[in-house]
Chain A
Amino acid sequence: MTTDAEPRVGATNPAAASTDTAHPAGTDVRLAASHVSLAYANARVVHDLSLEVPPGAFTAIVGPNGCGKSTLLRALARLHKPQVGTVTLDGADIHTLHTRDVAREVGLLPQSPHAPAGITVRDLIARGRTPHLGPFSAWSQADADAVAEAIAATGLAGLAERSVDSLSGGQRQRAWIALALAQQTGMLLLDEPTTFLDIAHQYEVLDLVHRLAQTGRTVVAVLHDLAQAARYADHVVLMSAGLVVAAGPPAEVLTAGRVGAAFGLRVTIVPDPVTGTPLIVPTSAPGGADLTPNDPLERTR
């Protein structure tokens, strides 16, 4: 989980309107957002945000509900057009590129994917080859190989002929990730891949995603669990109210002050006993009073 980057961490005060970028040295940044503002039906969600996605690393975007992290991810995936600013892929405005070309470079696991009833795992993954197939192209050996590799990488070999509906939550997410892998893209974006999964499946998916990042892919995931982000990501982007508060390695970004300010909760950071990465522990109850170690079950009146 190390990166050879020398991140510079910027604004420590979330109230400031500044944004921050991290520049890993020596590698090419391919996907970036430059001064983007994103809105839903005239309600602005993200303000003047600039971000460069560190290549070959696992970046986690975290932040409280409504901070714009999913919106940002969708903008990076070319699903959401910025009101202001540009998202660039290899230097070109992503919206001027053909969707098929973008689909060959950027894969996405959407938030609530919908599998057609009765589809088998293999058929679902095969649809990931769509950007490489024109309307009349025949299925080739290269396509079959891509699907086979995706199945192997996600450990779904024994389940390939089963219906997606009959899989567990974790297996289903792996199937969707396999679909994105079959696309053979250099970059993978995941929108809340662990939602609604139980703890074992969450870690199953995160392990897989981490492994993919280690093979050289650029992975960006929106996560809601800070400890998981700290444990698996090389690079964390903390957002709050449509702004990037801080970006860099987990230990530097996830400080008690920043997390507390972003989430409105007093916390203390302790090292994970297994991995040493930051664990977030609340020290205040919602009412605002402090909890002390002596009375862990004390609640405010």
Chain B
Amino acid sequence: MRGAVTRGGGARPIQRGTRRRLHRATLTALVLSAVLLASVVTSLAVGQVDLPLPQVLKAAVGVPSDGADFIVGQLRAPRAYTAALVGALLGVAGALLQSVARNPLASPDLLGVTAGGSAAAVASIALTRSVDSFSIAPWAVAGSLATAALITVLGWRGGIQPMRMVLAGIGVGFVATSITTYMLTKLPERVVGSAYLWTVGSTNARVWRHVVVAAIAAAVVVPIAAWYQRRLRVMEMGDDMAAALGVNVVRVRVGAVAVSGVAAGLATAVTGPIGFVALVAPAIARTLSGRGGIVVGASALMGACVTSVADLIAREALAPTQLPIGLLTAAIGAPYLLVLLARMRN
């Protein structure tokens, strides 16, 4: 035929690359799981009383063994598990928000969602004068959700516009922190200390109820987020592209932000706002997995690793003084963020 052009076989190299990427993602997930497991087990074993590993493992799974039961079962396990689960929630919350905002620097802490949660928590302390974490928790969730809704509305222009949302979030976060700061100056002395913990996050004195709440939250949030993952990855190519591929951009964005708000809110409700995890974990997970887009599973695992390790250090580094975990995550996360920003300048 006149003008016929033969096409070469280009299909096979593409398949090979995809397989390699999936391979890498799976490997990352496995490695992170292993690190998490090691960290949790270490948290259970190490402390003021170092316990032998077999006892720890038995206590961890509920097999009665003398001595280890109380320390592991009542003190360390709830704390370690809570830390890991909250980290997972934060990792997922951050991953979702970063994808929606199309900005690796967007995270519930910087966009005011967790600030809204702590403001609500401190407000509840101011109003009810009680520091019982279980009565405060619903307020924290409500506050986070309300803030997520607020930044969605402020960033709305026929759909969420990422840049507007980020700017709105920064402003709203600042507003929430101002209100919180003001309330802290007015609280009576006896509740101020606890109130401050609700602004910085702490894994101290967690009990099994915290674990249960966090576990249910994670069990609900992570699968939903995973469902959103595919659509979000398509949207990362651009709104028009995604719409052409049949993704309802507006609905996905709103849904993802809502899930992110719920995850951040529940995390805040359980431990107070642990900062920077939601920022750092998804970004690292993304780089490690090499899939060039949001990875919910790896973000959750990475978040859990980060908080688990931070919790261990917070507990043991200056024992018997307990450092607030928020300080450690800030000490790692903030410099990382600043370096990232500085590098972005080019």
Q: Is A in direct contact with B (CB under 8 Å) within the complex? A: yes
Minimum CB distance partner of A292 in chain B: B2
Chain B residues in 8 Å Cβ range of A301: 1, 3-5
A14 to chain B, nearest CB (A): 25
Given contacts A41-B346, A298-B2, 4 further A-B contacts (CB under 8 A): A288-B5, A289-B3, A289-B5, A301-B4
CA distance A301 to B2 in the complex (A): 9
- With most chain A CB atoms within 10 A of its CB, the pick from B3, B5, B346 is B3
Chain A residues in 8 Å Cβ range of B2: 289, 298
Minimum CB distance partner of B1 in chain A: A301
Interface residues of B in 330-346 (CB under 8 A from A): 346
Q: Size of chain B's interface in residues, with CB distance under 8 A?
A: 6
Minimum CB distance partner of B6 in chain A: A301
CA distance A300 to B2 in the complex (A): 8
Interface: A135 (CB within 8 A): no
Q: Let me know if A300 and B3 touch, CB within 8 A.
A: yes
Chain B residues in 8 Å Cβ range of A299: 3
Secondary structure of the B side of the interface?
loop
CA distance A287 to B6 in the complex (A): 10
Q: Let me know if B346 and A300 touch, CB within 8 A.
A: no
CA distance A30 to B219 in the complex (A): 71
CA distance A289 to B1 in the complex (A): 12
Interface residues of B in 292-346 (CB under 8 A from A): 346
CA distance A292 to B5 in the complex (A): 17
CA distance A190 to B5 in the complex (A): 41
CA distance A204 to B289 in the complex (A): 52
A188 to chain B, nearest CB (A): 31
Interface 0/1 of B1-45, CB less than 8 Å to A: 111110000000000000000000000000000000000000000
- With most chain B CB atoms within 10 A of its CB, the pick from A285, A298, A299, A301 is A301
Secondary structure of the A side of the interface?
loop
Interface residues of A in 277-301 (CB under 8 A from B): 285, 287-289, 298-301
B167 to chain A, nearest CB (A): 15
Minimum CB distance partner of A298 in chain B: B3
Query: Which residues of B are interface residues toward A (Cβ below 8 A)?
Result: 1-5, 346
Chain A residues in 8 Å Cβ range of B5: 287-289, 300-301
B344 to chain A, nearest CB (A): 13
Q: Let me know if A287 and B3 touch, CB within 8 A.
A: yes
A226 to chain B, nearest CB (A): 26
The 4 closest A-B pairs by CB, nearest first: A289-B3, A300-B3, A301-B4, A287-B5
CA distance A285 to B4 in the complex (A): 12
In the complex, 18 of the A-B residue pairs with CB atoms within 8 angstroms, ordered by the A residue number, are: A41-B346, A285-B3, A287-B3, A287-B5, A288-B5, A289-B2, A289-B3, A289-B5, A298-B2, A298-B3, A299-B3, A300-B3, A300-B4, A300-B5, A301-B1, A301-B3, A301-B4, A301-B5
Chain A residues in 8 Å Cβ range of B3: 285, 287, 289, 298-301
CA distance A288 to B3 in the complex (A): 8
Interface 0/1 of A261-291, CB less than 8 Å to B: 0000000000000000000000001011100
Interface residues of A in 128-153 (CB under 8 A from B): none
Chain B residues in 8 Å Cβ range of A288: 5
Chain B residues in 8 Å Cβ range of A41: 346
Chain B residues in 8 Å Cβ range of A289: 2-3, 5
CA distance A197 to B3 in the complex (A): 36
Chain A residues in 8 Å Cβ range of B4: 300-301
B181 to chain A, nearest CB (A): 33
Chain B residues in 8 Å Cβ range of A300: 3-5
CA distance A299 to B4 in the complex (A): 9
CA distance A298 to B5 in the complex (A): 13
A81 to chain B, nearest CB (A): 15
B164 to chain A, nearest CB (A): 14
Chain B residues in 8 Å Cβ range of A285: 3
B4 to chain A, nearest CB (A): 5
Interface residues of A in 33-71 (CB under 8 A from B): 41
B195 to chain A, nearest CB (A): 42
CA distance A298 to B1 in the complex (A): 12
Chain B residues in 8 Å Cβ range of A298: 2-3
Minimum CB distance partner of A299 in chain B: B3
CA distance A288 to B7 in the complex (A): 13
CA distance A298 to B4 in the complex (A): 11
CA distance A285 to B3 in the complex (A): 10
CA distance A300 to B7 in the complex (A): 12
CA distance A285 to B1 in the complex (A): 16
Minimum CB distance partner of A289 in chain B: B3
Minimum CB distance partner of A41 in chain B: B346
Minimum CB distance partner of B7 in chain A: A301
CA distance A273 to B1 in the complex (A): 36
Minimum CB distance partner of A295 in chain B: B2
CA distance A285 to B2 in the complex (A): 13
Chain A residues in 8 Å Cβ range of B346: 41
CA distance A75 to B5 in the complex (A): 43
A249 to chain B, nearest CB (A): 36
Chain A residues in 8 Å Cβ range of B1: 301
CA distance A5 to B4 in the complex (A): 48
Interface 0/1 of A181-201, CB less than 8 Å to B: 000000000000000000000
CA distance A299 to B1 in the complex (A): 12
CA distance A288 to B5 in the complex (A): 9
CA distance A287 to B7 in the complex (A): 11
CA distance A298 to B3 in the complex (A): 9
B331 to chain A, nearest CB (A): 32
Chain B residues in 8 Å Cβ range of A287: 3, 5
CA distance A285 to B5 in the complex (A): 12
CA distance A285 to B193 in the complex (A): 75
CA distance A40 to B346 in the complex (A): 10
B12 to chain A, nearest CB (A): 22
Minimum CB distance partner of B4 in chain A: A301
B19 to chain A, nearest CB (A): 31
Minimum CB distance partner of B5 in chain A: A287
CA distance A289 to B4 in the complex (A): 8
